[in-house]
Chains A and B, each alone.
Chain A
Amino acid sequence: MLELQNLSFQVSGEADGQKEIIRNLDLTFEDHTFIAITGPNGGGKSTLARLIMGIEQPTSGKILFNGTDITHMNVTERARLGISFAFQQPVRFKGIKVKDLITLAAGNNLKLSGACDYLSQVGLCARDYINRDVDGSLSGGELKRIEIATIIARNTPLAVFDEPEAGIDLWSFNNLIRVFEEMHQSSQNSLIIISHQERILNIADEIIVIAGGTVQARGQREDILPELLKGTESCRFYQQK
């Protein structure tokens, strides 16, 4: 469903000109898969996610979505084709209510009870949140759960999550795992989740390790996860470069 062909992304470096964040990357994602992308900080994972959504434009290479070349499409066009994106740091808005955001995400005249269902799925008591502004009055964890509720509401063929575990407390984290499992089991949609968390990697079908802007390893969870965990004594489960 998603193909990245020879994808590169450079930014202007400080003294030495161009810095390459993603290098000649080739990746293919099949329909109805749950793929976790992991790897060291600064390795290019988040950039890759942003390239898929169109928030960043690649320096070279191609992106195909269900056979359509979307390389030069903007964020809106990709969203309408069926790609969703959950931000690592959810955006705050003064004056936009939780209900408004979920209704926009669902893309139709969502009934109040529908919006409430999405909130319940991420463990928020809908009555307490539905009329609140998506602003600084919400905690990081609350914002993150609302962000995930907007992705559930969108229900697109592909959803990309950039470190969904960041800023989430333990109780919500258990809930989060369940949400991802349900999303995967209840539809034909595909999930790409950028994560450092062993428990998220542990429910993925496949794991891709990205470091230095390229694919270091890719394979079934059973094959990759033990490798990542090998030799680490702390909670870090991959070797830092």
Chain B
Amino acid sequence: MDEIQKNLLEQVTGLHEMPAGAYNIRANGTSAARSTTAHIDIVTKEDKQGIDILIKPGTRNESVHIPVVLSQSGLTEMVYNDFYVGENCDVTIVAGCGIHNNGDSDSRHDGIHTFYVGPNSHVKYVEKHYGSGDGNGSRIMNPETVVELSENSFLEMETVQIKGVDSTKRSTRAKLADGARLVVTEKLMTHGSQTAETSFQVDLDGEGSSANIISRSVARDSSRQLFLSKINGNNRCAGHSECDGIIMDNAKISAIPEITANHLDAQLIHEAAIGKIAGEQITKLMTLGLTEQEAEAQIVNGFLK
């Protein structure tokens, strides 16, 4: 990998060198490095782009890193990564995509991550998206996440896109069996003329299942954001979604929540709040000696931390 790719890798995974545990690093459309462990296997798909990640039952305290970096302007790819997590596992999966585009053609990465999480397993899934480069070509990422949670399994997903992605459509769909839990935390910031659309569809099919979707976003300049969330309560279950947005400059954010209770004991809540930074917050920080710009930066950084 070259320096640009290494920088992208560091931005999306925080890694300076090859991680411990299993990993697959995809650079400009090919596998740049791969490592497997006794419990985690990574197999290249035969019929399409992508990999299968096979995690044996009972695998605990292990991690898998599968970052993607694109530095070749004009590259477009569609990648399918499927995760098969056995029962009684406790693993961390770190994905993410960095695109550096210095050219005039659009670079685009579409990734579909499908998780089959076995009974009683816990998966922490972290993904971060980042773009850099000052070419006229756009940096486009469309991540799709599909989750099937078996009985009493738990997936916590942290997804972050703070900088440099011109256009993104993010889709997350989940189906939960009895006692399964899903917690999603999304942090999003758009600037310039970027657009971001993020949608969630959660089917709470199992008895005692629960989902909590928390989205915090900041839209600056003339960027646009759309937040869609649908939670269907099909059993005795609890669902909560929360969209908190700060708009600045000429940006626009729309939030369209939908909650449907198809069962008498489904408890569903949606909260949404969009607005500019409260003037009194800036004033308070100014009374501590910060300038207006410093106060604004402090508030935005804290909000997305």
Contact = CB atoms under 8 A, between A and B. Distances in A.
Contact of A75 (B281, B287, B301): B287
Contacts of A101: 288
B283 A96 contact: no
Contacts of A66: none
B302 A91 contact: no
B290 A76 contact: yes
A95 B298 CA distance: 10
Nearest to B292: A76
A90 B284 CA distance: 8
Given A94-B244, A95-B305, A74 B281 contact: no
Contacts of A150: 288
A154 B299 CA distance: 20
A124 to B, nearest CB: 19
6 closest cross-chain pairs (CB), A and B: A95-B302, A75-B286, A96-B302, A91-B284, A79-B289, A95-B303
B3 interface: no
Interface in B264-305: 278, 280-281, 283-292, 298-299, 301-305
Nearest to B289: A79
A90 B278 CA distance: 13
A107 B285 CA distance: 11
A93 B281 contact: yes
Interface of A: 53, 55, 74-76, 79-80, 84-85, 87, 90-91, 93-97, 100-101, 104-105, 107, 150, 154
Contacts of B298: 96, 100, 104
Interface residues of B, number: 22
Contacts of B284: 87, 90-91
A90 B281 CA distance: 9
A79 B302 contact: no
A154 B290 CA distance: 13
A91 B305 contact: no
Contacts of B288: 79, 101, 104-105, 107, 150, 154
B290 A104 contact: yes
A136 B301 CA distance: 18
B289 A80 contact: yes
A94 B298 CA distance: 11
B302 A100 contact: yes
Interface string B53-94: 000000000000000000000000000000000000000000
Q: Is the interface of A mostly helix, strand, loop or mixed?
A: mixed
Q: Point out which of B281, B285, B298 has the most chain A C-beta atoms below 10 A from its C-beta.
A: B285
A104 B291 CA distance: 12
Contacts of A104: 285, 288-290, 298
Given A105-B288, A107-B288, 16 more contacts: A53-B287, A55-B283, A79-B289, A84-B287, A85-B287, A87-B280, A91-B280, A93-B281, A93-B299, A94-B216, A101-B288, A104-B285, A104-B288, A104-B298, A154-B288, A154-B289
A46 B292 CA distance: 23
B292 A95 contact: no
8 contacts: A94-B303, A95-B303, A95-B304, A97-B302, A104-B289, A104-B290, A107-B288, A107-B289
A107 B288 CA distance: 8
A94 B302 contact: yes
A95 B216 CA distance: 10
Contacts of A90: 284
Contacts of B244: 94
Nearest to A85: B287
Interface string B121-155: 00000000000000000000000000000000000
A49 B244 CA distance: 33
Given A93-B281, A104-B298, A76 B303 contact: no
A79 B299 CA distance: 18
A61 to B, nearest CB: 21
A104 B278 CA distance: 19
Contacts of B285: 104
Contacts of B216: 94-95
Contacts of B290: 76, 104
A98 to B, nearest CB: 12
Nearest to A94: B303
Contacts of A87: 280, 284
Nearest to A91: B284
A76 B289 contact: yes
B287 A93 contact: no
Q: Point out which of B280, B281, B289 has the most chain A C-beta atoms below 10 A from its C-beta.
A: B289
